[in-house]
Structure 1
């Protein structure tokens, strides 16, 4: 059993493309990627549809005890089928999402991370282990990346991997398990929240400790964005934080 609390806020003036879904023993956090202006998405469903559909498709594997990479691979495959024959899933801007998963399995907490929505494990000795897939940060040439580079390196060996129209991406995710007895809790974040640590200097230990009150983290993000600006990209992003704890019983 898990206790999950979360907060999610859209970037002002836009639809929220983050998504959270939780069950008795698991939580899913997804961050949909907004297509760049002028990029052919090949799909009329949109990013909010993708994250809702992918989250729902994860449930059978999560409930059935499948290893998390297998559950994600099956969910990507099912989501591809749900597009129907009218969508061009080979289009360079086809909808995609990052994935962060946590599931209690007996005395273990399973976790999975695909792309830049991390899972942070807060251990009882005070240490924080941040499971973060940083391959998007390692593309050649340094930021800002061109659209051509991102399209060429998405879901490719030597590039980065996201949940889109490539089931193999699930096998490239970072996954593992840790004994529940070693943990105070775990936090899942989209990159709209991790900018507090990556851009604004908040220690990861402080960020994870604050995840138990996720609404406050989201308010702090907006305050920092307005006060200090951003080093790159859009001023505001969708922001989601989820906190996982382990009630007795």
Structure 2
């Protein structure tokens, strides 16, 4: 089998009413590397927003991937978090944050890193899938009484704009902050102002010849498979990416949410989340590796 090339296409869409905090970043001189981030804003409005942090971290990550195209992904992420933290004087627990997914092809291997809920889904040539995901935040949140209460209130028709819905989300967010980047029971790890978080990321690699492609996305898109069942499988989502492009998949998820405007059928934090999706197709035919 000949050399494998990665061809990347992407789709993005804001949740509405404000700029998206999701980011897709390419490393221009590491032509087989892509980064997807989901910015997380702080509770205080006086601090920078998640989109700003995702921009800063994305730039540092692409620089790190270019400087060390075969470097350890966790170490590259650690240096990037540290650089942003020092440059902007960020304080742990008081700074914006971001989930991180990195997919890179190096030699004949595909390597990936996931920190928090931005999954990487490789599609195998034998027809299967191999999910790389970090579910620690979901494991923390979904057992909380406030989570179950806000879900039930939406099912009962209270809607996204009710004071109770906003209060419950704020209380859930406070619980999350108490467990972020800390060595406590139920902890989860996310890119923020703690470089050590990088060493808690999930990493894996696969022979490139074993894969047909990878889906890399924020949770505003993964819900199309996991919560909504709009796509019956990851394979079905990948097939739609091949047919109509990732933007068509992103738009389909967004349109589907419009059919459930109050969250009764699919309780969630808000009507629309920001959305970012990468389809990285792997091809062993002749080519030069350009996208």
TM-score, normalised via structure 1 length: 0.90
> Partner residue of 1:187?
215
Cα separation, 1, equivalents of 2:122 and 2:21: 25
Aligned partners of 2:16, 2:124: CA distance in 1, in Å? 35
Q: Residue 152 of structure 2 corresponds to which residue in structure 1?
A: none
Shift of 1:164: 0.5
| From 235, 241, 266, the counterpart of 1:211 | 241
Instruction: Give, in whole Å, the separation in 2 of the partners of 1:242 and 1:125.
Output: 21
Structure 2 stretches of 5 or more lacking a match?
148-170
Q: Given the alignment, which residue of 241, 245, 248 partners 2:277?
A: 241
2:196 equivalent among 138, 160, 168: 168
Q: Is the 2:11–2:248 contact (alpha carbons within 8 Å) kept by the matching residues of 1?
A: no
1:153 counterpart = 2:179: yes
**Matched position secondary structure for 1:48:** helix
Q: CA RMSD in A?
A: 1.8
Q: CA separation of 1:13/1:148 partners in 2, compared to 1, >3 Å: closer, same or farther?
A: closer
Task: Give, in angstroms, the shift of residue 147 of structure 1.
Answer: 2.9
Q: Which residue of the partner structure matches residue 66 of structure 1?
A: 71
Listed one character per residue, the Cα deviations across residues 143-165 of structure 1 (whole Å, up to 9, x for unaligned) are 52623311110112331111001
User: In structure 2, the residue corresponding to 1:28 is in which secondary structure?
Assistant: strand
Moved over 4 A (4+): none
- TM-score, with length taken from structure 2: 0.78
* Structure 1 spans left out of the alignment, 5+ residues: none
What is the CA-CA distance between 1:211 and the residue it aligns to?
A: 3.2
* Residue of structure 1 equivalent to 2:254: 222
Larger Rg: 2
Task: Give the drift of 1:93.
Answer: 4.5
Q: Secondary structure at the match of 1:7?
A: strand
Assess if the C-alpha contact under 8 Å between 1:153 and 1:159 holds in 2.
yes
Aligned-pair distance for 1:210?
Answer: 2.5
2 CA distance for matches of 1:7 and 1:171?
Answer: 29
Q: Following superposition of structure 1 onto structure 2, how do residues 67-82 of structure 1 map, counting pairs within 5 Å?
A: 67-82=72-87
Partner of 1:79, secondary structure, is: helix
**Post-superposition shift, 1:135?**
0.3
1:41 Cα deviation after fit: 6.3
- Distance in 1, matches of 2:79 and 2:87, equals 12
Deviates more, 1:227-236 or 1:103-112: 227-236
